């Protein structure tokens, strides 16, 4: 899946020599882009998933990139060890966001920058409504009754809440840039279907269904993805924020 990469890379503004920490680096795409921009600057990707890190290591040849299996919320990275901390959709899962961002702030040098891409509220994200609603075969009124299983991706959707958390964690100069783009799920329905089945919420919803209902839901999912096949990929509307703080 391509996640709005161009705007994010530009916003990160990594410069030659920067030491960069990529939080929740997943398969390492943003880590590698940061490393290309950092020249010989040290770049560390941290993730709690060894599976994701294995994937990242397989795709990484650059010697100045290292990957770390750790919880970024609590790991001691060392004081002022980095110039820039970046994260594309990797900071939304902290149990204690103020504590976690405080930990990341300590890892940054004074005037160092945090650049994080986070989702706007679910209501602004077509993919986040249509996919679960298709599996659960819901109506508008059902949705209010709690069809959705995982609100963590949207916890930073409200800029004032996010600003408050970052200020409490010791950051200042918090700014938000809006990103509205068609989100690409794959070149065709089958690839998009496989990608959807790797996401937490669809998996959780499918696991709750009887085998017959799960078969029905998979067929509905394929039909819905076909309806979003633009001929140039399966696309959904999305809305995110690029949050910067220092
Ligand atoms: C939505 S994925 C984004 C991956 C990657 N940044 C990208 O844009 O492709 C979120 C990633 O954050 C990782 N993650 C979640 N909580 C974390 C934590 N506390 N510390 C480090 N990684 C975390 C997950 O394992 C997952 O790989």
Each residue of 151-168: pLDDT tens digit?
Answer: 889 999 999 999 999 999
Pick from 172, 2, 30: nearest CA to 91:
30
Nearest to 204 by CA among 144, 119, 154, 147: 147
- For residue 144, what pLDDT is reported? 44
Contact 150, 204 (CB under 8 A): yes
Flag residues of the chain having pLDDT under 50. 1, 139-145
Probe ligand 1: pick from 3, 30, 43, 47, max atoms within 8 Å of CB?
47
Q: Supply 237's token pair.
A: 């509307």
Assess whether the C-beta atom of 52 lies below 6 angstroms from ligand 1. Answer: yes
Six-digit token string for 244: 């910067």
Ligand 1, atom nearest to 75 Cα: 20
The closest residue, in CA terms, to atom 21 on ligand 1 is 47
Number of domains observed in the structure of the chain: 1
Average pLDDT, the chain: 93
| Distance in Å, CA 139 to ligand 1 centroid | 31
Pocket of ligand 1 contains residue 48 by CB under 6 Å? yes
**Encoding tokens for residue 32?**
């590698």
Q: What is the pLDDT of residue 136?
A: 87
Domain extent for 52:
5-245
CATH number at residue 29: 3.40.50.150
pLDDT value of position 140: 45
Name the pTM for this structure.
0.92
What is the per-residue pLDDT across 74-103, written as a single tens digit (0 to 9) for each? 999 999 999 999 999 999 999 999 999 999
Residue 80 and residue 107 in contact, taking contact as beta carbons nearer than 8 Å: yes
């Amino acid at each position: 899946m391509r996640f709005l990469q161009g705007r994010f890379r530009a916003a990160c503004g990594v410069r030659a020599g920067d030491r960069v920490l990529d939080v929740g680096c997943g398969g390492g795409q943003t880590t590698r882009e940061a490393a290309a921009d950092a020249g010989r600057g040290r770049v560390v990707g941290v993730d709690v998933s060894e599976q994701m890190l294995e994937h990242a290591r397989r795709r990484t040849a650059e010697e100045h990139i290292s990957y770390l299996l750790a919880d970024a919320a609590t790991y001691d990275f060392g004081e002022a060890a980095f110039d820039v901390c970046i994260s594309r959709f990797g900071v939304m899962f902290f149990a204690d966001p103020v504590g976690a961002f405080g930990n990341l702030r300590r890892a940054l040098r004074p005037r160092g920058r945090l650049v994080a891409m986070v989702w706007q509220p679910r209501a602004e994200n077509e993919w986040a409504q249509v996919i679960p609603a298709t599996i659960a075969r819901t109506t508008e009124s059902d949705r209010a009754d709690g069809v959705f299983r995982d609100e963590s991706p949207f916890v930073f959707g409200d800029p004032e809440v996010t600003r408050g958390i970052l200020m409490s964690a010791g950051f200042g100069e918090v700014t938000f840039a809006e990103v509205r783009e068609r989100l690409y799920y794959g070149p065709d329905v089958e690839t998009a279907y496989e990608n959807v089945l790797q996401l937490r919420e669809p998996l959780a919803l499918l696991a709750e269904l009887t085998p017959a209902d799960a078969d029905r839901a998979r067929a509905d999912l394929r039909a819905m993805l076909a309806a979003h096949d633009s001929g140039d990929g399966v696309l959904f509307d999305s809305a995110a924020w690029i949050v910067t703080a220092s």
